[in-house]
Amino acid sequence: MHDYGIDFVVYDWYWNKGNYEDNGHALQAYLAAKNKNLLKFSLLWDNASTATLNETQFTSMVKSWITTCFSQPQFLKVNGMPLVYIFSISNLHEDAKSLV
């Protein structure tokens, strides 16, 4: 991608209720690439296609982001904080109600 002028990519990210990342092939290939340092990345959490998360599932999902992605120097940060895009703010709002 870098050879074609792309310096940033956002990977669609799905969380399976079985507590694992689903459809992460492109992200895994990027993380294994020898030249990944040439390209910043971020995640787009596709929360539109799943049912409401419970607190345990949400915590597992965020821990996965922290260990797999946020620790990567190439992960895009704004003011020092990791940037994650969220597909559906209304779904996030509804999910958050069940987490309190």
So what's the pLDDT on residue 95?
A: 74
Per-residue pLDDT, averaged over 5-23, amounts to: 78
Q: Would you say residue 13 has pLDDT above 70?
A: yes
So what's the pLDDT on residue 51?
A: 59
Residue 100: pLDDT band (50, 70, 90) is low
Average model confidence (pLDDT) across the chain: 85
Instruction: Kindly report the pTM of this predicted structure.
Output: 0.81
Residue 69: give the domain boundaries: 2-99
- The number of folded domains in the chain is 1
Alpha helix segments (H runs only) across the chain: 25-32, 55-65, 89-99
What are the b/e assignments for 10-20, b being 16+ CB within 10 Å?
ebebbbeeeee
